[in-house]
Amino acid sequence: MKKIALLIFGLTLVLVGCQEDKGYYLTGTVEGIENGKKVYISDRDETTNSLKTIDTATIQEGSFEIDLEEQDQPVLSFLRFEGVNGTVAFISENQKINFEIHKDSLRDAKISGGKENEALSEYLAHFKKLNQEMVEIQQETRQAMMEQDTAKIYSLRESQAEMRDNDVNFKKELFNRNKDSYVSVMLLSDLLNMRSLSSAEVREMYADVSDRIKETALGKSLKENLDNAMAAEVGSKAPSFTAPNPEGENISLEESLGKVTVVDFWAAWCKPCRIENPNLVRTYNKYKDQGLNVISVSLDRPGQKDRWIQAIEEDNLEQWDHVSNLQFWKDPIAKKYRVNAIPATFILDENGVIVAKNLRGDALSEKIGELLD
> What residue ranges do the domains of the chain occupy?
20-113, 116-231, 242-372
What φ, ψ does residue 181 adopt, rounded to 5°? -130, 150
The Cα–Cα gap between 184 and 213 comes to: 8
Amino acid identity of 332?
P
List the one residue out of 195, 187, 160, 193 whose CA is nearest residue 171.
Answer: 187
CATH code for the domain defined by 242-372? 3.40.30.10
Q: Are 326 and 303 in contact (CB under 8 A)?
A: yes
Was domain 20-113 assigned CATH 2.60.40.10? no
Q: Are 294 and 279 in contact (CB under 8 A)?
A: no
Q: Please, where are the H alpha helices in the chain?
A: 2-18, 115-146, 150-177, 182-193, 199-206, 211-214, 217-231, 253-256, 271-287, 305-314, 332-336, 361-372
β-sheet bridge partners, residue 296: 264, 322
List the one residue out of 39, 90, 33 whose CA is nearest residue 64.
Answer: 39
The Cα–Cα gap between 273 and 265 comes to: 8
17-31 in b/e form (b: 16+ CB < 10 A) is eeeeebebbbbbebe
**Beta carbons within 8 Å of 42's beta carbon, 6+ residues apart:** 51, 52, 53, 54, 77, 78, 79, 80, 87
β-sheet bridge partners, residue 50: 45
Per residue of the chain (373 residues), what is the pLDDT tens digit? Answer: 444 443 434 434 433 444 444 579 999 999 999 999 999 999 987 667 788 999 999 999 999 999 999 988 999 999 999 999 999 999 999 999 999 999 999 988 999 988 999 999 999 999 999 999 999 999 998 998 888 888 998 898 899 889 999 999 999 999 999 999 999 999 999 999 887 888 889 999 999 999 999 999 999 999 988 988 888 888 889 999 999 999 999 999 999 999 999 999 999 999 999 999 999 999 999 999 999 999 999 999 999 999 999 999 999 999 999 999 999 999 999 989 989 889 999 999 999 999 999 999 899 999 999 999 8
